[in-house]
Amino acid sequence: MNHDQTSDRSFVIVGGGLAGARAAEGIRAEGFAGRVVIVAAEDEIPYIRPPLSKEYLQGKAGRDTVFVHPADWYDQQNIDVLRGRTASVLSPRTHELTLDGGEVLRYDKLLLATGAASRRYPGQGAGLAGVHHLRTIGESEALREALRTGSRRVVIVGAGWIGLEVAAAARGYGNEVTVLGRESVPLNLIVGDEVGAVFGELHRANGVDLRMSTGVADIVGDGTGVTGVVLDTGEVVPADVVVVGIGAVPNIGLAAEAGLAVDNGIVTDAAFRTSAADVYAVGDVANVFHPVLGHRIRIEHWANAENAGAAAGRSMAGAEVSYAEIPYFYTDQFDLGMEYSGYADLVQDAAVVIRGDLAAREFIAFWVADSRVVAGMNVNVWDVNQAVQDLIRSRVRIDADRLADEKIALTDLSAPTD
């Protein structure tokens, strides 16, 4: 892109998270020399969310490690970050974005990277002192302060990724931890019963009181704050700290009010273009057409914000983009490290093939549909994620026995056989 042709143009990014920051990088990488503005609702420069439930929450990483770039990087790149500002009205017809306070930004192209918000506990107990949700750096710091003294009764509502990571952090501080989950085993809607049970056994082995097939009726307290969680059975689980981890919802309000197509997020094509001219969307909020799958998917994980954000920025700046990366996610809990790659919406009816030792928590799990690997998870087995992704990408048909056989190299499996 010619710098002289872009210097008088303005690109606006709504959202100060990882996707927005990487999009700004992508825009500059394509040679766009005009104005780039990031509208960040939080009073922070863009930061990365995974550490908020992992090493930052555990007190093992400093605050400066969570930011995508130091503050002066944005100055060097001539990128304006408007901190603590929210967008109130998007007007695609006039190419204008109105901010809180009435300021109007005129744009040539605009990217919606508004992310997702924690699903809040619906009852009145959500407002009690000692009840936490976890999405922002401020919420992570408040939760860490509540956990770090140890010897507190911590009840976690939700046995998904966030709930389990918080449980591990809370136990690391020496707290008494109870996890309440509606399903029969943790994560079973994501990884199924067999693999989900591995995570359940891990937590029980580390002193977590894991109560599955359990519903929550209410969160209760007194004048000083939360005192317990009431189960559907009427039992009250005593609590000094309650953490609600029941998922997230995409922040589609601005887009919906502007008349953009929304369906489980903001609808885009594979180049992140929305239904409105010159308006793009990326990250947790975007439901993006995937050219390999042939349908749209919305992904809330870090790697998607990282990779898709940069691709969306390049697309805005004029590059030809058809985004087809394989979704990726990782977690660290106690002595278990895991990487997951694949298409979560394809695993529901897939067969699970285990390669390694499930009981020892050293294995690779493959989800296989029509003899093809659609997802893979390596647990305490390292330097294999690229090979797992190659298997998924190859779409070759693989015999389950060969897939499970540790004597056969993963790299040999992705090559077609006669």
Instruction: Give the domain range for residue 72.
Output: 3-117+249-316
Helix (H) or strand (E) holding 195: helix 188-205
pLDDT tens digit string along 305-323?
999 999 999 999 999 999 9
Residues written for the chain: 418
Q: Does one domain contain both 111 and 255?
A: yes
Q: Are 239 and 226 in contact (CB under 8 A)?
A: yes
Domain contains 27: yes
Grade residue 4 by pLDDT with cuts at 50, 70 and 90. Answer: very low
Plot region of 259 (φ>0 → left; ψ -120 to 50 → alpha; else → beta): left
Which of 246, 262, 293 delimits the end of a domain? 246
Q: Does one domain contain both 126 and 188?
A: yes
pLDDT over 90 at 344, yes or no: no
pLDDT over 50 at 25, yes or no: yes
Q: Does one domain contain both 142 and 224?
A: yes
pLDDT over 80 at 2, yes or no: no
Average pLDDT over residues 327-334: 96
What are the φ and ψ backbone dihedral angles of 244, each rounded to 5 degrees? -100, 115
pLDDT over 80 at 100, yes or no: yes
Domain contains 418: no
Q: Does one domain contain both 97 and 209?
A: no
Please enumerate in sequence order all residues whose Cβ is within 8 A of that of 216, keeping only pairs 6 or more positions apart, or say none. Answer: 157, 180, 229, 230, 231, 232
Average pLDDT over residues 141-164: 98
Grade residue 139 by pLDDT with cuts at 50, 70 and 90. Answer: very high
Q: Does one domain contain both 133 and 213?
A: yes
**CATH no. for residue 55?**
3.50.50.60
The closest of 142, 201, 143, 148 to 171, measured between CA atoms, is 148
Q: Does one domain contain both 258 and 242?
A: no
**CATH no. for residue 362?**
3.30.390.30
Question: Can you tell me which residue has the tokens 């594979």?
Answer: 270
Mean pLDDT (the chain, rounded) = 96
pLDDT tens digit string along 209-232?
999 999 999 999 998 999 999 999
pLDDT tens digit string along 350-390?
999 999 999 999 999 999 999 999 999 999 999 999 999 99
User: How many structural domains comprise the chain?
Assistant: 3
